[in-house]
């Protein structure tokens, strides 16, 4: 059983939902990334989504675009990010790690080489924003599955039944439902529309957990999503705190840790959990 499947099984048994923070590797400085990974786990994160900096992150709003620019100023590459995960794994063998990024760096490294190197370092899954299910078929999917690397697929408010069935055919780990039309950090959540769409997503991706991201900014929105989804993904709110305190590593850990602890507490309260972290 993969680390991701095992973690979701543990959470289901405990009556809890997954908290998945995103931040960009190398932001604000490469030396701080691994320490921040450990900090967010201590604050209640169940899985980590680590962004691979890219020069044209088309799905991202200005907050995460700026984070990519700060990381790229330090020449952080895909190989560097894989190395950060390997360093993280020396002290944390259990927390699942997902690399989130774009296709170009993976193509440059090569699908098989990327999958093999990522898994050897302790990466559990990849979420490649600009690789839709059609393009994942064939060489990419064969390389990933051959190496044991899960592919996380994105579903959107516009995904119809045919698209959702296609997603189910390539996705492993969990489905990431993008709750908003637009880029990260762009708008406010409409919980009713999320609830309605999640029932459709689940109908076509049976057996896979469904996480929801985009628009989750605070403890109350995290709790609202936790009441209806299997996982809550928070990105721009974390990255904004990193940006606000980018010259003070101690403050970054305090602010990000505080945000996630508040979310964790609110999520556990909404599900009736005793809050014990698995």
Q: How many domains does the chain have?
A: 1
The CA-based angle 157-169-215, given to 5 degrees, is 25
Instruction: Put the strands of the sheet holding 48-51 in their side by side order.
Output: 150-151, 125-128, 97-101, 48-51, 18-24, 231-234, 210-213, 175-178, 153-155
Q: Are 42 and 35 in contact (CB under 8 A)?
A: no
| Per-residue model confidence (pLDDT) at position 145 | 97
* Assigned domain for 97 exists: yes
**Is residue 94 included in any domain, yes or no?**
yes
Q: Tell me what pLDDT residue 160 has.
A: 94
> Helix H segments across 43-97?
62-72, 78-89
- Give the per-residue pLDDT at 100: 97
CB 100 within 8 A of CB 129: yes
| The pLDDT value given to residue 181 | 58
In a domain, 263, yes or no: yes
Only one residue has tokens 């628009």, namely: 215
Assess if residue 277 is contained within a domain.
no
Instruction: Give 191's pLDDT tier (boundaries 50, 70, 90).
Output: confident
| Residue located via tokens 């972290």 | 277
- Average pLDDT of span 93-104: 97
Chain centroid to CA 272: how far? 24
Band of pLDDT at residue 272, cut at 50, 70 and 90: low
Q: Is residue 278 part of a domain?
A: no
Q: Is the pLDDT of residue 277 over 70?
A: no
CA atoms within 13 A on the CB side of 60: 29
Q: What distance in Å separates the CA atoms of residue 134 and residue 1, rounded to the nearest whole number?
A: 26
* CATH code at position 195: 3.20.20.70
Token code pair at residue 131: 């690789």
Domain that holds residue 17: 3-270
pLDDT of the residue at 58: 75
Number of H helices, E strands in the chain: 13, 9
Task: Please report the beta strands in the chain, taking only residues with DSSP state E, as ranges in sequence order.
Answer: 18-24, 48-51, 97-101, 125-128, 150-151, 153-155, 175-178, 210-213, 231-234
Q: What is the pLDDT of residues 117-170, one digit of tens each?
A: 999 999 999 999 999 999 999 999 999 999 999 999 999 999 999 999 999 999
Rounded to the nearest integer, the mean pLDDT of the chain is: 93
Does residue 98 have a pLDDT over 80? yes
What pTM value is reported for the model? 0.93
């Amino acid at each position: 059983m993969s680390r991701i499947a095992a973690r979701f099984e543990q959470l289901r048994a405990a009556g809890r939902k997954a908290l998945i923070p995103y931040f960009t590797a190398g932001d604000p400085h490469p030396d701080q990334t691994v320490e921040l990974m450990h900090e967010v786990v201590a604050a209640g994160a169940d899985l980590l989504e680590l962004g691979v900096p890219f020069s044209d992150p088309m799905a991202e709003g200005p907050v995460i675009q700026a984070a990519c620019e700060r990381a790229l100023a330090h020449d952080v590459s895909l190989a560097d990010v894989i190395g950060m995960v390997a360093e993280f794994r020396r002290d944390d063998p259990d927390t699942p790690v997902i690399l989130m990024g774009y296709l170009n760096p993976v193509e440059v490294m090569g699908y098989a080489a990327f999958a093999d190197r990522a898994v050897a370092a302790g990466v559990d899954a990849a979420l490649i924003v600009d690789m839709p299910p059609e393009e994942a078929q064939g060489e990419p999917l064969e390389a990933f599955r051959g190496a044991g690397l899960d592919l996380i697929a994105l579903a959107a408010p516009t995904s119809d039944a045919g698209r959702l069935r296609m997603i189910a055919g390539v996705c492993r780990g969990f489905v990431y439902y993008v709750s908003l039309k637009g880029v990260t950090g762009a708008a406010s959540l409409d919980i009713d529309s999320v609830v309605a769409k999640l029932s459709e997503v689940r109908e076509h991706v049976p057996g896979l957990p469904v996480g929801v991201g985009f628009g989750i900014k605070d403890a109350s929105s995290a709790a609202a999503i936790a009441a209806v989804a299997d996982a809550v993904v928070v990105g721009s709110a974390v990255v904004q705190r990193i940006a606000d305190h980018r010259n003070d590593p101690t403050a970054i850990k305090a602010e990000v840790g505080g945000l996630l602890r508040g979310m964790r507490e609110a999520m556990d309260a909404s599900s009736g959990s005793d809050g014990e972290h698995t």
